[in-house]
Amino acid sequence: MTELLQKVRVIDPVSEIDEQFDVLIADGYIQTVASHISDISSDTQIRDCQGLVLGPGLVDLYSHAGEPGFEERETLLSFLQAAAAGGFTRASILPDTSPAIDNPALVAQLQQKRHGEIRKKEQINSAPPASPAPPTSPLPLLHIWGAITLDVAGKQMTELADLASAGVVGFTDGKPLENLALVRGVLEYIQPSGKPVAFWPSDRHLAANGVMREGSNALRFGLPPIPASAETTAIAAMLELVAAIGTPVHIMRVSTARGVELIASAKAAGLPITASTTWMHLLLDTKAVKSYHTSLHLDPPLGNPSDVVALRAGVRAGVIDAIAIDHTPYSYEEKVQAFAEAPAGAIGLELALPLLWQYLVETEEFTALELWRALSTHPAECLGQKVSAILPHQPAELTLFDPQQTWKVERKSLYTLSQNTPWLGQQLKGRVVKTWC
């Protein structure tokens, strides 16, 4: 199929371009990018894209898929469809499934399901009933994180070499590892593989039974606090190990101003680290918890206002390399509890781009290039991958986004099987029109 996108706003972090062009796409490749394209075949599909945005496909660093083990929360198919509807052309799942992704057989099973059964389902029935998400968008590429420890229990190292050979994108438990001797051993053992390794620094003893970031709002709302030091002491320990061993590390879920400072200092000293925060930690702070909405119970918790300011500045400066979605689906029954008792996490694949654009780009706090870079090229680089520029003869891995389209967040408008989001029932502005993958 040949498609001509006329007068589309091209945002390309690779080429540092934010301009209006015509873009011709054919047979999975970008054919032409020019101010005006008129030389086209008679069967070319022409789309007027005035007001729409075209950028590289979004890349999610890490999220949770329910399958295997928690299919009532999310199946692999619904996860990938939600990612496509949110503009993601690459999606990465964490290994904390049941059973955990700690062996090559399960990696192969998931890959086979993505390339076989799911592709067949996509061709037969590309959208669930009543879903307005674009059926023409292909499923994104699936990347699988391999577990660092057996059953992600933090005790015994997996056969990392076997997992690497099976094709995992990298290694993480997605949970805090408090045994620093084990962490040191992982860094020494994994170095020759060249695969990314990601850690979530968090001291669970300091966090104790807390559910909200320590500060005046935690006192006001009467919720058990988590001190910032639960994150920062663990980051400091991780940085010391990286300095001693030299293995590159990705630091997940940075949520505090002090955490940003520590990472900035480590990067300035030349340590081989990258870092990410999640999209909700950029948008909301502890004031939002006033509603006691259980989808605001996150781990790490939402930061104080000063943390949000520092995180946003960190992303803009590149200290925080990437924005992760950390999509964490839970069933209605699991989330209908008291705030402190409900499991931590919220969905986000279909919501992140519209909300980040609305509250960061339209307010001019971020440029469009800064946001798109943190959602596409930089996450890919954290995974040791590249994203192609929007130039002739490059693969068409693209996302078309309408910043002005309005829609309501409700069950029938979402691909994900879960609804644990504080934006449920609200009207949003901005929606993905199509992806190419």
323-359, pLDDT tens digit by residue?
Answer: 999 999 999 999 999 999 999 999 999 999 999 999 9
Strands 170-171 and 141-146: parallel
57-389, CATH topology level: TIM Barrel (3.20.20)
Q: Is the pLDDT of residue 119 over 90?
A: no
The region, left, alpha or beta by phi > 0 then psi within -120 to 50, assigned to residue 18 is beta
Name the average pLDDT for the chain.
95
- What is d(CA 349, CA 325) in angstroms, rounded to the nearest whole number? 6
Cα first-last separation, the chain: 14
Is 402 one of the catalytic residues?
no
Q: Which H or E run includes 5?
A: strand 2-12
Cβ neighbours around 282 below 10 Å, total:
25
Q: In angstroms, rounded to a whole number, what is the distance separating the alpha carbons of residues 100 and 118?
A: 21
Residues 276, 323 contacting (CB under 8 angstroms): yes
Catalytic member of 12, 285, 321, 326? 326
CA-wise closest residue to 8 among 26, 24, 29, 31: 24
| 8 A C-beta contact, residue 198 and residue 252 | yes
Average pLDDT over residues 298-308: 98
Measured distance CA(129)–CA(408) in Å, rounded: 16
Local confidence band at 124 (pLDDT 50, 70, 90 cut-offs): low
Q: Which residue would you say has higher pLDDT here, 132 or 295? A: 295
CA distance 433 to 437: 14
Rounded mean pLDDT of 169-189?
A: 97
Q: pTM, whole model, 2 decimals?
A: 0.95
Determine the pLDDT at residue 136.
62
The Cβ-side half-sphere exposure at 427, using a 13 Å CA radius, reads 3
Which pLDDT score, from 0 to 100, does residue 157 have? 97
Please tell me the predicted confidence (pLDDT) of residue 114.
84
Q: Which residues are CB-neighbours of 354 under 8 A, at least 6 positions away?
A: 428, 429, 430, 431
Residue 276 has pLDDT above 70, yes or no: yes
Mean pLDDT of 240-269: 98
| Lowest-confidence pick of 25-29, 119-123, 140-144, 326-330 | 119-123
The answer to whether residues 131 and 413 touch, using CB atoms and an 8 Å cutoff, is: yes
pLDDT in tens, 379-429: 999 999 999 999 999 999 999 999 999 999 999 999 999 999 999 999 999
Q: Coil, strand or helix: which one is 25?
A: strand
Bridge-based pairing of strands 141-146 and 198-199 is unpaired
Which residue, chain included where needed, has tokens 């680290």? 273
pLDDT at 117 over 80: no
AA identity, residue 372: W
What mean pLDDT is predicted for residues 71-92? Answer: 97
